[in-house]
Amino acid sequence: MKTCLFDIDGTLIQTGGAGQVAFAQTFADLFGVDEITKEVSFSGRSDRAIALDLMRSHGIEVNESNWHVFRNGYAERLPAALEECVGRVLPGVESLLDTLRQRGDVLIGLLTGNLEQTAELKLGYYGLWDHFPFGGFGDNCTERNDIAAIAVEHAVRLHGEPGAKDAHTVVVIGDTMHDVTCAHSVGAKAVAVPTGGQSADELARSNPDLLVDTLEQSDELLAWFDN
């Protein structure tokens, strides 16, 4: 059995910055921050890590109460931001997901820093949510490696055979070095695709097991996958 875990932003979809717009609106409306600092990186990180860093940068107390205020406010504002920003499903994604589903020997899941609720909002908006019966999300983790471990545990549970972990091939597909690093941290293979935050050269330096230009290269990806 094989498992394919997909990152969302820059890998499956581009939202045209909807996430950052909703983050900024949430910090403005609920914490009085006129403009969020550009010094906190969004790329390839968990929503929890980004939100807590922004709180620290803007002198907002980091505690569970403020985290809940943020996450509810962000989820409320994201649908309008998705409408407002021009985004798209990235090339080759729908066809690759259909092909993987038709094979019947691949579990398809998510490995994302998004909250589960906002992952559903984003992928639902672009008609992709139903492809993903499980995943690891950024609700409770600041470290992407921990999210990867949760996603892999979930896959092994779904696969359901004792000892499945050893016989299980897990592939993580993502657009940043963080995706590559977290894949390797759990013994998974990493496919990097430069359709989001980082260039092919930058991604190559993180030593992915396979680097493709876009997910339209599904023949190459599947041939490698079966090897």
Residues making contact with Mg ion (CB under 5 A): 7, 9-10, 175, 196
- Residue number, 6 or 156, with CB nearest to Mg ion: 6
Cβ closer to Mg ion: 24 or 192? 192
Q: For Mg ion, give the closer residue by CB, 12 or 100.
A: 12
Instruction: Give whichever of 3 and 47 is closer to Mg ion, judged by the CB atom.
Output: 47
Q: Which one, 71 or 178, has the nearer CB to Mg ion?
A: 178
In the complex, minimum distance from the CB of residue 197 to Mg ion, in angstroms, rounded to a whole number: 6
Smallest separation (angstroms) from Mg ion to the CB of 12: 9
CB 176, min distance to Mg ion, A? 5
Q: Which residue is nearest to Mg ion (CB)?
A: 10
**Beta carbon of residue 178, minimum distance to Mg ion (angstroms, whole number):** 8
DSSP output for the chain: -EEEEE--BTTTEE-SSHHHHHHHHHHHHHH--SS--TTS--TT--HHHHHHHHHHHTT---SHHHHHHHHHHHHHHHHHHHHHS--EEPTTHHHHHHHHHHHSSEEEEEE-SS-HHHHHHHHHHTT-GGG-SEEE-SSS-S-HHHHHHHHHHHHHHHH--TTHHHH-EEEEEESSHHHHHHHHHTT-EEEE--SSSS-HHHHHTT--SEE-SSTT-HHHHHHHHT-
CB of 32 to Mg ion, least distance (A): 29
